[in-house]
Amino acid sequence: MTRRFERPGSTRGMAAMAPALKAAALWALGLVVVIVVFHTIAVAQPQPWSGQMWLAYVAGRLGIVLPFAAFAGGVAIWERNPAAGRTRVAVLAGLVIGLASYASSEVVSPLADYAALAGEPDLAEIRPFGPRTPAGKLRQLRFVEANPPEQYRMGDMTRTPPNGIRLLLHLPLVAVAFSVLNSVLGLQAARLTTALRTPSRRNGRLAIGLAGGLAFFGAVFVAGQPGRDWVALSGAVAAWLPLAVPLLEAMVLKAMIYREDVSVFGRLSGRQPFLWRGT
């Protein structure tokens, strides 16, 4: 007997995304462990942090690295899914990874941070607008717009330029969009290198992923420099402009995939690459 409320399409969709989510989670957790160990040993001495402070620290780093780990998810989709609908699965998986990144960095981390500081006598000065969630940043934006200081200064909660706050509001949304693009880039990189021998294929995908991730990170770093004139510059434009880097990379990879002669990858593999067109 068929169950009336069964949704097999949804089940199949989750099953198709499972390899991507697993691959992205493993890469993200590995990177977070490396970051935490490096920071604890090389940057700062171990501190007697509370459980909430550790949660805030780890969740914040996890939110940063998840969009970059989405590339591994796209590669996994190519390897473990049938040809039909791969791009759609990559987009959906990237969206899920991006939303997880947003929740981790913009909800879990600031709420845990605020809970860890709840006993501090100067909490009202440290966090005058509550947790640094999107709602808290909006309260800060409204306050600064209603009470403009004589001189703006980044880092001062009550004197941050409105465009500087808008930058911080938009950057997590940009990370969600980058997660989607990076998942598709992983799929494209896997398609482009599919004819290579195993070592060259693995190294080629790793190189493409690292180059794209570092280029995007560099663009965000340059666009969000605290020393910029955030009174005049648009925070929203500065936040979204770095997405031009993965968009350009996607167009380049797409063009390479559909070229008749992918000579670079052909020479690396020692044979003519097979051109996949049916996804």
pTM: 0.84
At 11, the amino acid letter reads T
Condensed to tens digits (0 to 9), the pLDDT of residues 91-143 reads 999 999 999 999 999 999 999 999 988 888 888 888 999 999 999 999 999 99
- Which residues are CB-neighbours of 5 under 8 A, at least 6 positions away? none
What is the structure's pLDDT at 264? 47
Is 203 in contact with 256 (CB distance < 8 Å)? no
Is 94 in contact with 73 (CB distance < 8 Å)? yes
What is the structure's pLDDT at 67? 97
Quick one: pLDDT band at residue 263, thresholds 50, 70, 90? low
The b-or-e profile of 74-96 (16+ CB within 10 A means b, else e) is bbbbbeebeeeebeebbbbbbbb
Average pLDDT in the chain: 84
